Structure 1
């Protein structure tokens, strides 16, 4: 995961409330969020998905945008989807790994 600046920490925390629709794990803990930058009320999110053909891309992007727009100072959200580096299970947080393990889903 990218080092989190104190300026964007609250946006990372906010996105921990946005859940992946397939597993009740946040998009942050899934490792889908690569970077967050903020400039003059515009929040720029760089992210990926677990697969190119993910059927939930627009839903997840909408949830991310809606959650960030709840922050008083955020006027605009820009989401850039990237495929390099590709998502792998190595991006899962320890919390996500534990949850999956408890559900009987292997993260390896």
Structure 2
């Protein structure tokens, strides 16, 4: 079996991919880049219908935390497996622009 075939038949990988796709629709209103490309999402899991998103923010005390939480909940609840969403907000490891994808760095004009 090839790697590609394995990934298609692995329900955990499929669900994780679909969760990531949904989170790619959550755009940070200030930076106008999605949470995945910003590197804010550190982990995803689903247990008994509850999707847990382990993530950080670009700064502590971010004024849009509640907005992002609502957007995350809305996006993940589109998946039939997700009944509820829990956000596990962490500050370690600290976020830095190095966590951004190449796309996000180019879009934001960050060259380093």
Q: TM-score range by the shorter chain?
A: 0.7 to 0.9
Asked if residue 72 in structure 1 is aligned to residue 69 in structure 2, the reply is no
Change (3 A) 1:107 1:32: farther
Match of 1:22 in 2: 30
Change (3 A) 1:17 1:40: same
User: Residues of 1 paired with 2:78 and 2:20: CA distance?
Assistant: 13
Query: Could you tell me which of 89, 101, 106 is aligned with 2:97?
Result: 89
Give the C-alpha shift of residue 41 in structure 1.
1.5
Segments of 5+ residues of structure 1 without an aligned counterpart are none
The TM-score, its normalising length taken from structure 1, stands at 0.86
The number of residue pairs the alignment matches comes to 100
After superposing on structure 2, the runs of 4+ consecutive aligned residues of structure 1 that deviate more than 3 Å are none
Change (3 A) 1:41 1:27: same
Greater helix proportion:
2
1:46 is paired with a residue whose SS is: strand
